[in-house]
Amino acid sequence: MTATERRAQIINVSRKLFSKKGFNGTTTKEIAQASGISEAMIFCHFASKEDLYTAIIDQRIQEVGDALSDEALQAHDDERVFGELARFILDKTSENPTMLRLLYFSALEGHELSDIFYSNHEIKKVMKLVDYIRLRISEGDFCDLDPILVARAFTGMLYTYVTAQHLFDAGRYYPKASHEEVVQNFLSIFLNGIRKQR
């Protein structure tokens, strides 16, 4: 393997192990064994276990891309703006549920990297939605509500749903729904609640 390929392999193996056992519960020896390399090889690519964990978060931020398109925001298309964000959260979590587990482990262990992810990625996504909601309130189309709480309420609906699906296997208890069915139902509930009645 090239150095780049080896680094990517270590990151991918580590992400799976961290998502199962947490940061504190995973050793670099276990990562090395699962990667088929020596423990020393890990430290050729990463200065510490914390450095490796940071690389996992950084890689995920680069992988997921932007949740909201400027085109949808500029068009003032509420269904598209909220729909894009909903599909983004549902699709990205389904593509890589290990990342959700890893972030929950980080938060529960009090590890600073969950905060790094939230402050560098999640909060930016929410604040972009906040700005849009604030604009729509000023235009008289949305009710006069706190835009931060409105944005958090919408993302909260989605994260509660994906957490139940991927951490608690809620699909065993409820009828199966496609992502599009979830999006359309959530949009209807939410937008009917915040739009001014004409």
Which phi and psi angles does 142 have, rounded to 5°? -110, 150
Query: pLDDT for 145-171, tens place per residue?
Result: 999 999 999 999 999 999 999 989 999
Distance from C-alpha of 159 to C-alpha of 11, rounded to nearest angstrom: 25
Q: What is the DSSP string of 131-157?
A: HHHHHHHHTTSB-S--HHHHHHHHHHH
**Domains defined along the chain, listed by start:** 3-60 (1.10.10.60), 65-194 (1.10.357.10)
Q: What is the pLDDT of residue 153?
A: 96
In DSSP terms, which residues pair with 195 in a beta bridge?
Answer: 142
Is a pLDDT exceeding 80 seen at residue 198?
no
Query: pLDDT for 124-144, tens place per residue?
Result: 889 999 999 999 999 999 999
If phi over 0 gives left and psi between -120 and 50 gives alpha, with beta otherwise, what is residue 140?
left
Whose CA is closest to 137, among 69, 85, 194? 194
